[in-house]
Structure 1
């Protein structure tokens, strides 16, 4: 329990983005852990910059919004930012950068002012793009407007002058839930002849469950020691083949690796000629075929790996379809 929580009282955690998929899923997990959840409305911001320095300057100018947020966060032990625009296939816009890059900095500043013990910003493993190994380094390779906006948010948080409230960017992987539209889409594809993997299908998949993510957020927020500036949601043990089998109830087709790589190279080349319009969709196909490995990180080192639930979540989603 936080030192800022009076003895005998439940800790209060403030969550921004309550109406979103992850934000709404957090309430049950936090409440069952004896935490009072305070939902705080996230302001709608826009940003005209593509640079970290510009994001910091824009955040510094939003004094009134920062003050209002600090008032709403007052008394909160932990602040969680689950707000933002989750549009992996969307185009760049001031609204996208405002929600995914500028807003996290404004919240971090407000959490400082409010005296919170910890601020957890929910980022995305998409910031590392096509890197063969996801990890907790600051090395990023964003490949789309969405991933660039999330990477810009992480970089801006890392560049701001540290305050009293430590900041952690938690990189969520490909989070699935029985009621999520992207999960329903995965179930539909996995149930058709389009369900396929490259080679043997044994490659690790970063597809994960919202249950495990919420448990990981809880563990990071409760941790009594230092939490690094960047942490990665742990791997849940899924492979590209096991994900499709759980979601579709059938074994996927095994395609030659060379054919999959050739198709992806061609697809990205064509997409690049049309302003990256197909990058998000192609990335989903790439993840379905090849997956992505994850390096052990803070969770494994501190014993904070949540119970894997991804296969159960996918099977539940299939039964609902």
Structure 2
């Protein structure tokens, strides 16, 4: 069966798929990232040979030599995107080409062989085709897609690997906020930074997230849901949350978000929010914003909203900000009008309930 790009995908359906009855029970309350579909996609790479051996096969453990390079030198990248059961009954994707492009950029930063866009998109089409029944039909339910690539060569030595394995798995998920969208409380980290100029902050690699686990634990100790990082150079300017970009909204409607300076992940949701906000008449400033400006603005009423955005939760209102310099509240602590409206607009496009003038959505 032809897949996407210059190589064909060999289809090996699972001999023991989950029954329709069991699948229906699982989809009734999937949670987030806890259950997985029947199949996965794998594609191999070898220096001098290129990408080869593309397969759709039963999801199963991956055999790994103890000397596999990723275990020692952390050459690994990943992406996150969703498939949606649209209002017209079709299965849709939201800006998958942007994920493919970011996957390539992450590969370059981590000195890895980039997967061609047509293979990235082809793998997604193949997996959705065989596991279509796993796409939830519940309100805001979706099929979370996790493409990842790692250094699969077995060797010990500090150099880029010569062999890689690309894998795509999928997990049906419910709405990120089971009880509805609620403002989160965040902790301003003074002891940890997420990334530094010249580092890997703009790449979507596992090491960035591993490095943030201690800060996330610190946030939890202070009763917070998330951590917000400051820049590594001055510990003064807002960077981003543990896994989401951040926006502030002034009382005049101006929106502010930190610029893409090489240390911040270029979020696809972030880019979409900026586009929609400008269309709705908001002025969007991409500039450095200090934690002092945020704190002072919130206390004076100059900054009336703050929210974070990313694939998993779309838009997340920020209610309370805590830190060693004192706490402050955004507005009255409830979800703001701007964040609520932008979230609804974006989700409606993703689920095909609203026109898509930008061509962001595709059907599979």
Tell me the TM-score normalized by structure 1. Answer: 0.24
Larger Rg: 2
Q: Which protein is richer in helix relative to its size?
A: 1
Q: Which protein is richer in strand relative to its size?
A: 2
